[in-house]
Structure 1
């Protein structure tokens, strides 16, 4: 039966379960809550304590690809259960080390790495389920678990203050019981509804335009991750994805002849790397020879296509810039406090406010990104990537504000702007990836995409550290306010500008190809 006629109740239950699992999976955000007490209890040095946060980050970042492969191969239900069990193991180890004052750094690093991997394993399974179950509302549905994951820090901070104040052991015990119970208990409902029936549905004259979203196609498959008619596979992008802003609204259905007409007939003599049409350029292998055995794999076709590299670069810069500020806001607070010693605000209080502000803004950005991107695509008939261009503009504003604010009181403004842009970008991209590459291999690709910001954030944090050191005295004190670190954020402003221009070029290029393909 057509997917849009699938029972609504199982899909709603799956969506609610996805939100609950996403909240329970937000354990990396609580590291800052128990980390100081854990370090003090186990007697770790400052250098050893720094390795713990690195292990947690690497577990989440480097685990993205294996998590995606696991979800695509074994399903979101299995991944959610496995993520819950691994979280239980990780927090049990942390609890045991805390109670016994065990300062085995390697064991603590392993536990935190497992925690990071388990978190994204459960979290990515929710994104996979929501994007597959709601193909016509991918942005809105996918934004809910993404936003829930971001707001987990606020929820768990409240839980800590309300129920586990000065009881770190109890908090760690709570996580190795609560998270697996939610992930395992809700996994039963985390199912992709009627997936097999949907794949077998015949392509008739009333097949809806939006039923099949993948943008990249091969000559013999309906998407990079499925099977189907070779001719009907080119139809989805022509109405919405390639328009510069919008296209005239048309009927919601296409005839069989229209559906089966190829986007463009490519002459045999035209090289695959020609810029004559979109398909020839964007679906051309990069670094891999077309026709080789490895090129026959559907994931290889996606990963080594040029459109994937475009999105990888855009997301990498946006994630790196946002995460650099999030990770470094503590240093900014210290500098502003040193520059204004008469301020009555304490560093700890200001840091708590900034962390909460960033979390709230990121939540709002992720929550609103889905509906807005759906409106942009389905109502305005425009490319969803316009939302990324807007997010980059907002991020540019945030980076500019950081260089102009010299007061602890006013730092909340750039924190909110940066958090909003970061959340809006991160909430929009899953739907873009699903639109382009389909949902069957979605989490593998999304897991790989999320590694894109690692290099950027590492280099930018090093640049910030260098800038602060250069502008500080021998005691490491800088009293010049925003001037102490403004050089770094001038660089990030240029990076944001580059992202904006590159994104606009991509939009223009897609529109140009759309026009040429319809001559």
Structure 2
């Protein structure tokens, strides 16, 4: 047990080094000002980092499943350190191009995903009877990363963007290396011997107990399985082409894609929300030009910290709540996604309505909470539905889901911000229309949140009908 606890603690610490992409909005406006970048370019760069995180998921998952956690953690340490070093040098020289910055953020995203895939599966295997809680620990650390890094920077180098970027090139790598000896799979837990504990996956009063590894692609409807005459893998775990023919998988793909995409739009753009509300004279009646830049960066860091803390809470609580729903109340874990959708819906309404930087904390808190519940719930949902033997690969495929949606929402935000902006005397883009700089983007994401709630409810109802028939 002592070794398992040590593994879980180190998974938490390494997880702090995996979530640094979500602190992007704390330094993105300063980077844009230093290098004369438009808001659309800044949104694009954030999406490139997200692209690196998303597309690496299946590859990193395969490496973790086959080789264990050590190699992915080393890759994560090298990639994140190199990426932030390139960004730091570009900022320092005031001579960074969009392609160079895009490459740097891409490898930061790649490194983050390799490290994260390793710590999530290590935590899940360390505590197989409490997988919901165990996976929520590194998930929570991932969400807490931005708060941890921004707080550390505020204490050591307040208002110093160059020092902040230097810190980002050192601290995540150090966490990875320090935790490397303690992050391991349990003895005897190879990819061939991993088995799942029985779980109850049905609604209360209509359930029966079945092994999570036996929940195949027919979890959605009987005809969602492979064609007649084909068979699943001998272990009963679902992966590969069988997974891609599952209606349940694609339903979750859409739910997670839209829900996470909505969150990522605000996470990568909240720094611009701060500047827009200040520039519109809606805070204390001041124009942005009259406010100390260090104070602006502090306000941005506060929003990042609020997002990070609420995401941490959502990720940590969702793991325990999902176990409570499944084991005690015999309810589907998907109900947590309905809750996340409702919280996100409230956040989009606030994003459209709030016209003072003093009330921006509400959007940040609700966005972080919904985002944290989404990512804290889904690893266990994936393990229950498709088994643990190929968990990292399956989770990596599902993690691709926010890519296109997040790109669309982020570019939409950048587009609305740019068309409402004017050039100042130094040739920089400034928007002085307050919330009107970006509020149209929140109209679109509000509709997305409604879609998430409806689809999650459809998944629950369809699963309930199928369980009654069986």
- Could you say which TM-score interval applies, normalised by the shorter chain? 0.7 to 0.9
| 1:182-226 residue CA offsets vs partner (Å, 9 max, x unmatched) | 31332222112134489669xxxxxxxxx735xxxxxxxxxxxxx
Alpha-carbon distance change, 458 to 177 in structure 1, aligned in 2, over 3 angstroms: closer
Paired residues for 1:359-378 under 5 Å: 359-378=308-327
1:280 paired to 2:229:
no
- Say which of 96, 105, 111 aligns to 2:104: 111
Paired residues for 1:63-462 under 5 Å: 63-94=56-87, 103=96, 106-165=99-158, 172=165, 174-196=167-189, 212=196, 236=198, 240-243=200-203, 245-247=204-206, 280-284=222-226, 291=230, 298-340=239-281, 343-344=284-285, 348=296, 349-462=298-411
1:499 paired to 2:447:
no
Give the match for residue 16 of structure 2.
Answer: 23
Higher helix share: 2
**1-structure distance, mates of 2:215, 2:21:** 45
Where in structure 2 are there 5+ consecutive unaligned residues?
A: 289-295
Alpha-carbon distance change, 497 to 434 in structure 1, aligned in 2, over 3 angstroms: same
Alpha-carbon distance change, 303 to 109 in structure 1, aligned in 2, over 3 angstroms: same
Alpha-carbon distance change, 515 to 420 in structure 1, aligned in 2, over 3 angstroms: same
**1-structure distance, mates of 2:155, 2:7:** 30
Q: Does the 8 Å CA contact 2:224/2:247 hold for their aligned counterparts?
A: yes
Moved more, 496-505 or 398-407: 398-407
| 1:235-288 residue CA offsets vs partner (Å, 9 max, x unmatched) | x56xx2122x4558x9xxx8xxx99xx999xxxxxxx9xx9x856234347xxx
**1-structure distance, mates of 2:169, 2:283:** 44
Give the match for residue 37 of structure 2.
Answer: 46
Task: Measure how far apart 1:122 and its partner are.
Answer: 0.6
Alpha-carbon distance change, 114 to 373 in structure 1, aligned in 2, over 3 angstroms: same
**1-structure distance, mates of 2:372, 2:409:** 19
Give the match for residue 512 of structure 1.
Answer: 465
**2-structure distance, mates of 1:509, 1:138:** 25
User: Computing the radius of gyration over CA atoms, which structure comes out larger, 1 or 2?
Assistant: 1
Alpha-carbon distance change, 35 to 338 in structure 1, aligned in 2, over 3 angstroms: closer
**1-structure distance, mates of 2:231, 2:330:** 37
Where in structure 1 are there 5+ consecutive unaligned residues?
A: 1-7, 202-210, 214-235, 265-271
Q: Secondary structure at the match of 1:46?
A: coil
1:58 paired to 2:51:
yes
**2-structure distance, mates of 1:385, 1:493:** 20
**1-structure distance, mates of 2:60, 2:111:** 9
Task: Measure how far apart 1:484 and its partner are.
Answer: 6.0
Higher RCO, Cα 8 Å, sep 6+: 2
Q: Does the 8 Å CA contact 2:239/2:386 hold for their aligned counterparts?
A: no
What's the TM-score once normalised by structure 1's chain length? 0.75
**2-structure distance, mates of 1:499, 1:424:** 14
Q: Does the 8 Å CA contact 1:242/1:513 hold for their aligned counterparts?
A: no
Q: Secondary structure at the match of 2:311?
A: helix
Alpha-carbon distance change, 189 to 105 in structure 1, aligned in 2, over 3 angstroms: same
Moved more, 431-440 or 311-320: 431-440
Q: Secondary structure at the match of 1:212?
A: coil
Task: Measure how far apart 1:320 and its partner are.
Answer: 1.1
**2-structure distance, mates of 1:149, 1:83:** 14
Aligned residues: 451
**1-structure distance, mates of 2:423, 2:169:** 45
**2-structure distance, mates of 1:338, 1:28:** 26
Task: Measure how far apart 1:370 and its partner are.
Answer: 0.8
Q: Does the 8 Å CA contact 1:131/1:434 hold for their aligned counterparts?
A: no
Q: Does the 8 Å CA contact 2:47/2:410 hold for their aligned counterparts?
A: no
Alpha-carbon distance change, 345 to 377 in structure 1, aligned in 2, over 3 angstroms: farther
Task: Measure how far apart 1:304 and its partner are.
Answer: 2.9
Q: Does the 8 Å CA contact 2:69/2:184 hold for their aligned counterparts?
A: yes
Paired residues for 1:4-19 under 5 Å: 8-19=1-12
